[in-house]
Amino acid sequence: MMPPMPIRRTHKKQGIKNIARIALLIHAAWWPHKNAHTAEAKPSVTQLCQEWADTLRTVDQAVCQGFDLHASLRFRSVEQRPLVFKEVLPPEQRPPLGRILFIGGIHGDEYAAISITYLWLQQLLNKAHQQNSDLSYHWLFLPLANPDGLFQAPAIRMNANKVDLNRNFPSPDWTASALKTWKKHYRANPRRYPGPKPASEPETQWMVQMIERFRPDAIISVHAPYGLLDYDGPEHARPTQIGHLKRRSLGTYPGSLGRYAGEHLNIPVLTLELRSAGRMPDPQQIDQMLKDLEQWAKARIRQQEEDF
């Protein structure tokens, strides 16, 4: 069942939230911490679910809580929110056909991309609990890679340090080209700021750690609003279409996930660019895309040898 559109909540708690924000600001002014959250009061996964449910209609506090999300022990967001992940495995200890890393919400203002990631995680977890489930892959979901971006008021593309995380990955050309490209190609557009150095941001460091540890056979990330399917990586895994999204190359940039993981690490990186950041595709399209992703994985990706 799909939520009514648009998907960002305009709800009554906003007033209370604003008062809470003002209180935090006053607190931060008196206590000169780097961030509004103090070391003693770092937000929990439960609080993250609450904040997430308060922000997006698709997200339900109890359902999110039921995901049993794990938080990184080493990394938190700039504003100290937990960076959460969830593994989904085929039932009955069946060996998976491969490992797929799914990254959602690198850009905080792409609500539809974040919502669809959440819904797919929910669907895969439901499948994992079904008898005779056809779940075939070991999925690692990072459903909200940039929580601070989503929870700014209003939401922003970048993280809380105003860095575009999708330009902050440590591709080998970062030092030579990232800031230069930003100034020339993007005329120093703040929405594309790659940061002061490669992987300067805790969210990026965390994603890099997850890629290194999980060693995915493929990476899928969801964005909006270009309405296409982008692909970077080895030729054998090149897809043609996922759901209603057809392949068209956007190219990669110094510090982008495509350049880092697709070109440098040679991992197939599939990027779904939804047509709208504020409106969801219809439910049929959402189901079709997930089916096509599983089909693509079966047809195109090659499993690496070692286990996770």
Which residues of this chain interact with Zn ion, rule CB under 5 A? 107, 223
Instruction: Please say which residue, 109 or 294, places its beta carbon nearer to Zn ion.
Output: 109
Taking the complex as a whole, how short is the minimal distance between the CB of residue 25 and Zn ion, in angstroms? 28
Estimate the crossing angle of helix 283-300 against helix 111-128, to 10 degrees: 70
Q: Looking at beta carbons only, is 64 or 224 nearer to Zn ion?
A: 224
Pick 114 or 218: Cβ nearer Zn ion: 114
Smaller CB distance to Zn ion: residue 64 or 103? 103
Q: Residue 59 or 112: which CB sits closer to Zn ion?
A: 112
Q: Rounded to 5 degrees, what angle do the CA atoms 249, 267, 240 make?
A: 40
Measured from the CB atom, the residue of 99 and 107 that comes closer to Zn ion is 107
Q: How far is the CB of 192 from Zn ion (least distance, A)?
A: 11
Torsion, CA 217, CA 293, CA 143, CA 3, rounded to 10: 180
The rounded distance, in Å, linking the Cα atoms of 17 and 49 is: 15
Least spacing, CB of residue 74 vs Zn ion, in Å: 25
Cβ proximity to Zn ion: between 8 and 107 the closer is 107
| Min separation Cβ 285 and Zn ion, Å | 19
CA atoms within 13 A on the CB side of 190: 6
Q: Read off φ and ψ for residue 270, nearest 5 degrees.
A: -105, 125
Q: How far is the CB of 166 from Zn ion (least distance, A)?
A: 6
C-alpha 162/C-alpha 78 separation (Å) is 10
C-beta closer to Zn ion: residue 138 or 223: 223
